[in-house]
Chains A and B, each alone.
Chain A
């Protein structure tokens, strides 16, 4: 193909130089971009008419709440624009660490290892609990099973129990649905239910079984349960509707089964109620602080209640 070395040596050398320069630059470019972003926010927030924009990224579970809060907030403050997206808590925390979001919404607490990673990148995660959620386990309404213990749920999700008749249901294979590992609910359910944290039978080595179908969103899981008699799935209380049935949960076989609801989550009897968080880099300031104050206000907490989540008090 090439007739002489001279002819293609120059282009090749140029290609290599340009490639190295372009790829070498990437990290520096992103850091400068984030600093300028935060500066503008602080300056805009000091004026009397609120204006500016910020991003909320993270939990799929918290998304319905954040969406309504931000819509209400933007309706009052027309100069403000808030972008909410819910690919999963893990995504939000990764974005907070990488400095690509202003608020991270999460349905699980940040891990110690993630705090270390954040500190290494100069990010200081600041935790604010904004609501509580009763994590519900749902099945098709045609399924005769009404309650499960932690041990049974763990066995179902690790693949040790594969037939509904082992837990008092029909003779049919259990179709186990889970969120994918971007999800905070995935991580919370793994720790609290599959690995049974804090119980006598706790086992840190347990993992989701190979039969578990990982879905990219909560909505898809709910719609699969609606159409599949043998399906089981877990989801935040806010996503439930009349075409799925939530199961009563028993910590051990001797306890009474408790159905997920605002009341049982508030009085502490529902065993898998969990806090929902906002994380910011350092204590929130300016417009972000005003927004979070609104979320925590009586009006904001009424939104929590109206959308099937559990308010803070």
Chain B
């Protein structure tokens, strides 16, 4: 994995004098140690987060059994006794993520195919950075746009009682995961060897046939990774869904119902949770569920991306 430079293996010509050699060695050691510590720190932080999540979250299962917690349909944190059931939040997260993926994937992959295969080089080189800037728009702005512009539109489109619903949130989330999907799948399609495409054209295939039958299948694992990264973004997004998904506690029957995702439920309840209290523990337990979900998605994405890299390693 890591190539270590062994100072003793240097030839005499590399080392001008003894004093400099010692200084070089010292500097080298210092930098090596620094990098080692920096690498270590990120792992410490990750393990620390996992440790705290488990330490603060697991005690809830002493008062609420895991089955009731995961499959209970009522969430009354300030009732006496409090009731913690996160099934509606889990289903809401799935709804919102599913709809946003259904919207973002065809758009994103089509955009990537255009940028990689169809667009003139100059256009692609201008458009791609612009799309990547879209990823930098703060989520609270997306929430605000959703609240002010999109929710009245969705309300009149589906003739709903209120435009604050899962569908509105899903549209905004799809806009937020779009840049990731476009960027990563464009890279994947770009990495498809030129020979593949040339062979396809040589057989008389049109541009469309080449994209559909050669480029996309060859880049499929990269596109899959892009989708997974986009899904991870949608699951974890908080501010936008908090502002526009409606935050109703009922089990959502359709995507146009107001709903509370797991992230929004955490954000809604964290404020008045006293450190160490039951509500605090319940929120951390939602955090554990959320962590497992996004961790799983990221691991799948990582695996798939790794396979893509190996496939076209040149």
Measured CB to CB, the residues of A under 8 A from B are 1, 11, 14-16, 18-20, 22-23, 87-91, 93-94, 97-98, 113-114, 117, 172-173, 175, 180-182, 187, 190, 204, 207-216, 220, 224, 227-228, 230-231
Contacts and interface: CB of A to CB of B under 8 A. Distances in A.
A11 B40 contact: yes
A223 B40 CA distance: 49
Interface stretch (B71-79, B121-129, B169-177, B228-236): B71-79
Nearest to B155: A228
Given A11-B40, A211-B248, A231 B243 contact: no
Contacts of A182: 268-269, 271-272
Given A14-B40, A23-B55, A228-B162, A215 B269 contact: no
Contact of B246 (A88, A98, A213, A227): A213
Given A210-B250, A230-B161, A18 B272 contact: no
B273 A212 contact: no
B274 A88 contact: no
A230 B162 CA distance: 9
Contact of B77 (A88, A113, A181, A230): A181
Contacts of A18: 40, 44
Nearest to B258: A213
Nearest to A195: B79
Nearest to B162: A175
Contacts of B36: 11
B249 interface: yes
Interface of B: 1, 36, 40, 43-44, 47-48, 51-52, 55, 74, 76-80, 88, 147, 152, 161-162, 164, 242-243, 246-251, 258, 260, 268-269, 271-275, 277
Nearest to A3: B1
B249 A208 contact: yes
Nearest to B243: A216
22 contacts: A1-B1, A15-B40, A15-B43, A19-B44, A19-B48, A20-B51, A22-B48, A23-B55, A90-B272, A94-B271, A114-B274, A117-B277, A172-B161, A180-B268, A181-B77, A187-B78, A207-B74, A207-B76, A210-B249, A210-B250, A227-B152, A231-B162
B278 to A, nearest CB: 10
Given A22-B44, A23-B51, A216 B249 contact: no
Contacts, number: 105
B27 to A, nearest CB: 22
Contacts of B260: 214
A209 B43 CA distance: 43
A210 B85 CA distance: 13
Contacts of B147: 220
User: Which residue, of A94, A117, A181, A227, has the highest number of chain B Cβ atoms within 10 A?
Assistant: A181
Contacts of B277: 117
Contacts of A228: 161-162
A7 to B, nearest CB: 10
Contact of A93 (B249, B250, B272): B272
B40 A224 contact: no
Contact of A98 (B78, B251, B275): B275
Contacts of A209: 250
Contacts of B152: 227
Contact of A88 (B250, B272, B275): B272
Contacts of B243: 216, 220
User: Which residue, of B162, B260, B271, has the highest number of chain A Cβ atoms within 10 A?
Assistant: B271
A23 to B, nearest CB: 5
A22 to B, nearest CB: 6
A88 B271 CA distance: 8
B162 A212 contact: no
> Can you list the 4 inter-chain pairs with the closest CB atoms, starting with the nearest?
A90-B272, A210-B250, A91-B271, A214-B247
Contacts of A187: 78
Given A23-B55, A117-B277, A224-B162, A215 B44 contact: no
B249 A214 contact: yes
Given A19-B51, A94-B273, A182-B269, A175 B161 contact: yes
